[in-house]
A and B are shown apart, each in its own frame.
Chain A
Amino acid sequence: MPLDKNYIKAETNKDIVKNSGVPLQLDVINEVRVNKSAVERRCASLTNRRTVKRHNQAAWLLKAITCMDLTTLSGDDTERRVIQLCNKAKTPLRQDLLKSLGIEDLNIKVGGVCVYHQFIRTASNVLKGSTIPVVAVSTGFPAGHTPKKTKILEIKESVRNGAQEIDIVISRRHVLSGSWEKLYDEIIEYKEAAGIACLKTILATGELGTLKNVLKASLICMMAGADFIKTSTGKENINATLPVTLVMSRAIREYFERTGFEVGYKPAGGISSAKDCLSHMMLIKEELSSRWLNPCLFRVGASSLLSDIERQIEHFSTGQYSSFNRHGMA
């Protein structure tokens, strides 16, 4: 199935300087320093240095919706379940809310729908014509302990089935054993297999042990050509935290300064409240810039975040605190 033309257009319109990768530079990796206490202090301070209120908050939350990879990645997923999710993806907000905010023409929809390989076709069918890309997790998600051959095949199959974006998991063992070349080579192969599909590399930061490893792995993935670096599968005990967002944003900035390539960022898992989501967005704005706050360079992988955002937007619109049952389920 061909890629959705509208989607490609939307991306090129933004003039993103896509990452074509660079040769592995181990000296850059060896220079990496991260001070955890200082990183935490920055995160704690930033969320109190900035805030968005009222209409501005509503606007930021709308942006968050457009950057959201609405996700279902469970063992009990079924086709019906995926169809429901895709329908919600197309109309994430109640019509009357869009109207009251005067934003009908913004055509608010989510950034992508993220599913297992099994459901790519189902999702594509529902999303056809919507410009919403189908995102497939891959390479033996979530643990990544399947044979390399199968992983490559999985990527190719997913792309052939219509996935426009592939979220691969990296081999954490390469990070933990310091086998940076292996990690680099692995991503190169995935990138080749994915072709023109957008490649997001999931670091599973909760399993990398230290922030320093997170930073190193981020840089390796980017050197190997990742279009996005993504925090977590959502299955680890610790998922997207602010310190991880800070470290990965700084990695993207460092890489951009060295190469001129713009790599996207996707925190996933653990962001379930509108407030949390705003904190991550503010951190990205501060460490990178507003340019990164759009679906081409920022995604947030979430399943329950949307319903909290809907409530907050209704609160802004009506002045009354909202309730979950007033918004259609995903």
Chain B
Amino acid sequence: MKKVKEAFKKMDYETALEGERETLEWITNHKGQFGHFIGGKFTKPKNLFKTINPFNRKEIAKISQGTLTDIKNSVDAARSGLKKWQALSPFQRSKYLYAIARYIQKESRTISVLESIENGKSIRESRDIDIPLAARHFYHHAGWAQLLDEEFENYSPVGICGQIIPWNFPLLMLAWKVAPAIAAGNSVILKPAEQTSLTALYFAEICKRIGLPAGVVNVVTGDGITGSHMVNQKEISKIAFTGSTEVGKQIKKITAGSGKKLTLELGGKSPFIIFDDADLDSAVEGIVDAIWFNQGQVCCAGSRLLLQETISTKVEKKIISRMKKLRFGNPLDKTIDMGPLVSLEQLNRVKRLVESGVEGGSDIYQCDMPSILKGYFYPPTLLKNVSPSMDIFQQEIFGPVLSSTTFRTPEEAVALANNSRYGLSASIWSENINLALDISPKLKVGVVWINSTNIFDAAVGFGGYRESGYGREGGKEGMYEYLELNSDTYNIKKGARLFKANISPSRQSLAHIDQTRKMFISGSQKRGDSGHAIEIFDKQKKEVATVGRGNRKDIRNAVEAANKKVNWTALSCHARAQILFYIAENLSQRRDYFIKLLSLTTLCLDPIQEFDTALKRLFTFASWADKFDGAVHQAPIRANTIALNEPVGVMGIICPDIAPLASFITLIAAALCQGNRLVVIPSENFPLPAVDMYQIFETSDVPEAAVNVVTGKHRELIDTLCEHNSVDGIWNFGDPKYVSAIDKASISNLKQIWSMTGDNLNWINYHASFNKLLLRKSSQVKNIWIPYGE
């Protein structure tokens, strides 16, 4: 009992380990070897590799490396699973998701321990954050499964989903992927990260125990090679990936042109902005949760600290004294803040990046680590005086390393925050609600936390802008990623004609005076750069006009204008509505002319109907301009979480040939009404209706550069447009033969691509759900967390 006396004098903490007996028993029951989970059964362990405890560098178990055959078998299983799953009612499916949630909860401690010994995260985090959130995700999605028919009318599941998840939140990422996929009625093949497969296998066992129909959930373990086998499978209709931007781009490349749906949740270098009117002590605590949570191995870690100059010294001092209180040790120790990094590879990577930062001239402060620790530990690190031009400010480190810099004004804070390829999340600390709410929409990120950081919930979508990927996980917006609008709501029925009647062309010539048709850039008509023209023919193959043959430079000029002139996006939604109505008004005055124009081409079969449709669409999207509301999500914490629909930004739109006026108007009106600025490539064979809209734009108060039009040969334009790093999204309704090229061209900045075969679309008479789809595709959801309370 001498110990009591000593402890009384020291008043310190001592190691308090969480028990691991039950967890180790589970591994022993499997003889320390695991196969894949395919078609409701575990395969015989084969091609084994070790999974390592990063705290003591010892082997925990052996896992099977998935082969091409394993992947093929899992596709077979998922196919039959899909059939059984879709045969069930929403209620029946919901009950399975509910059972999964219950099981995760019931066995939460065993799972938490498993997660901590394999990943190295502290037991506090796995026990209090990861595992409860995973259970919450299944509860929430048991709800969506139940409500599927009433909330997603005209939507169907996409089919077999291939899902690849990272090692930083093994079970939570599984939940984020599997729960919405099966709630929407899909079957899945999941590949966990090779460093952390055990909780996925434990999860597989839960699926078996609750009697989930075989093949609905399949787990194939292995490394990147296994993953690439999966991505190559034709029958998989959707790939959902969370991981590095580098691998995300590879996946994008492999799947280019395959028509697979893709969700990518990638890297980040998220800003953590502290204004001088913040509760500084709380902000410092926020930093702990931002960058020393899970050893900083978090895609949305607040790794770039932006401090207002007036308080920077004070805050840096506070951070350093706070760092001295951090505790390190065995992840199962209930008194620690940080465990080891996940692997030796990761440790070396972080070391290398920090060294380069120090060489670059930033001041470093690091915590002293107890020398007794033998695992893959890296000390919490603060790099001060980092300049935005340094690598360490721009590159994702994925470790406990905080890079700090200063700003002078709110405007400069925004500029610094947005000075990044990434756009995942941001934290804003200020007690001034005006300031915080002003900054939030200006940040190019998918998630904003005001006076908080790293909070997540199943009801709130998560995902990024720019090279942080696309698609959302969680909430209703996340469900849409696993559903598809039924094509019979928008496509022409097979064998049916698009239009009712075929009116014979007018014999009258279009104009008496020769017209020079140009590009439309930055609000005025500009001659094309090339000085070449393309002839446009009518039904009788007679030349009716020429248009400019656009080239790289025209696209460049158009994109530049759209980026520079932001007036359209800055307008109020009411003003945008007014202008779209006004375009309709002015267009209607030229009814006769446009009908005459349309009757020249076989691409339009009913000029009157097409013209009236175009007018109607302008009205439709003018109406939507101030009605496509965001949402206030219901998360179980004291906060308002506002889901804001924001424009994608600068969008490239490639129009189809068919219905050359109606398709053009529909696409631009939908994209404009949400505030996007556009670079449009109109129909290649009959661009005249688009070109003749220039004058109408000019007389309808459309701000310059809201719509830019470049005519020409599609194959000469789309590469430049899709490669352009200042274009945020592409709608490709053009020739399907370019889909693959467009996908590939978009990789460098991971712009969002939406490809549809425009020539199959019933532009005159599609179902109203298609309007909603257009609206969703013309916006992206930003979730702003606003905790409150005084």
B451 close to chain A: CB less than 8 A: yes
- Give the size of the chain A interface in residues (CB under 8 angstroms): 37
Q: How far is the CB of A249 from chain B (nearest CB, A)?
A: 10
Q: CB of B404 within 8 A of chain A?
A: no
Contact A34 B5 (CB under 8 A): no
Q: Is A62 an interface residue (CB 8 A)?
A: yes
Compute how far the CA of A103 lies from the CA of B4 in the bound complex, rounded to whole angstroms. Answer: 8
Interface residues of B, CB < 8 Å — how many? 41
Give B1-34 as 1s and 0s: 1 = Cβ < 8 Å from A's Cβ atoms: 1111111101111101000000000000000000
Among candidates B13, B282, B286, B336, residue contacting A52 with C-beta atoms closer than 8 Å: B13
Bound together, the chains give a CA A145 to CA B389 distance in angstroms of 62
With known contacts A50-B335, A102-B1, A37–B16 Cβ distance under 8 A: no
Chain B residues contacting A49 (CB-CB under 8 Å) are 124, 335-337
Asked whether, in the complex, the Cβ of A56 is within 8 Å of the Cβ of B14, the reply is yes
A103 touches B5 (CB 8 A): yes
Interface presence of B279 (CB below 8 A): yes
C-alpha gap A41/B4 in the complex (Å): 32
B280 interfacial contact with A, CB 8 Å: yes
- CB closest chain-A residue, reference B3: A55
**B473 in the interface, Cβ–Cβ < 8 Å?**
no
A48-B128 CB under 8 A given contacts A35-B431, A36-B790, A53-B16 = yes
Report the bound CA distance from A310 to B285 in whole Å: 35
Contact of A197 with B by CB under 8 A: no
Closest chain-B Cβ to A27's Cβ sits at a distance in Å of 14
Of B13, B336, B431, which one neighbours A56 at CB under 8 angstroms? B13
**For chains A and B in complex, what number of residue pairs have CB atoms within 8 angstroms?**
106
Q: Interface centre among A38, A42, A59, A212, by most B CB within 10 Å?
A: A38
Tell whether, in the assembled complex, residue B11 and residue A33 are in contact, meaning their CB atoms are under 8 Å apart.
no
Contact A37 B638 (CB under 8 A): yes
Q: How far does the Cβ of B457 sit from chain A's closest Cβ, in whole Å?
A: 14
The verdict on B755 contacting chain A, using a C-beta distance below 8 Å, is no
* Docked-complex contact B11 and A53, CB < 8 angstroms: no
- In Å, the complex CA distance between A34 and B283 comes to 10
**B281 on the A face (CB < 8 A):** yes
Task: Decide yes or no whether B334 CB sits under 8 A from chain A.
Answer: yes
Contact B285 A55 (CB under 8 A): no
Known: A55-B1, A101-B1, A106-B8. A34 touches B279 (CB 8 A): yes
Q: Tell me the complex Cα distance, A71–B124, Å.
A: 36
Known: A38-B451, A52-B14. A62 touches B4 (CB 8 A): yes
Q: Let me know if A89 is at the binding interface, CB within 8 A.
A: no
Distance between A110 CB and nearest chain B CB, rounded to angstroms: 15
Q: Are A37 and B451 within 8 A (Cβ)? A: yes
Inter-subunit contact B8/A62 (CB<8 Å): yes
Partner of A58, one of B4, B16, B128, B337: B4
In the bound complex, residues from chain A placing their C-beta under 8 Å from that of B127 are 48
Residues of chain A contacted by B2 (CB below 8 angstroms): 102
B7 touching A38 by the CB < 8 A rule? no
Partner of A37 from B128, B337, B789 at Cβ < 8 Å: B789
A-chain residues with CB within 8 Å of residue B280 when the two chains form the complex: 33
B13 near A38 (CB under 8 angstroms)? no
CB distance from A107 to the nearest CB of B (A): 12
Q: In the complex, what distance in Å separates the CA atom of A42 from the CA atom of B451?
A: 12
A299 to B423, CA, bound (A): 49
Interface residues of B (CB under 8 A from A): 1-8, 10-14, 16, 124, 127-128, 277-283, 285-286, 289, 325, 334-337, 431, 451-452, 638-639, 787-790
> B-contacting residues of A (Cβ < 8 Å)?
33-42, 45, 48-53, 55-56, 58-60, 62-63, 100-103, 106, 210-212, 250, 285-286, 290, 293
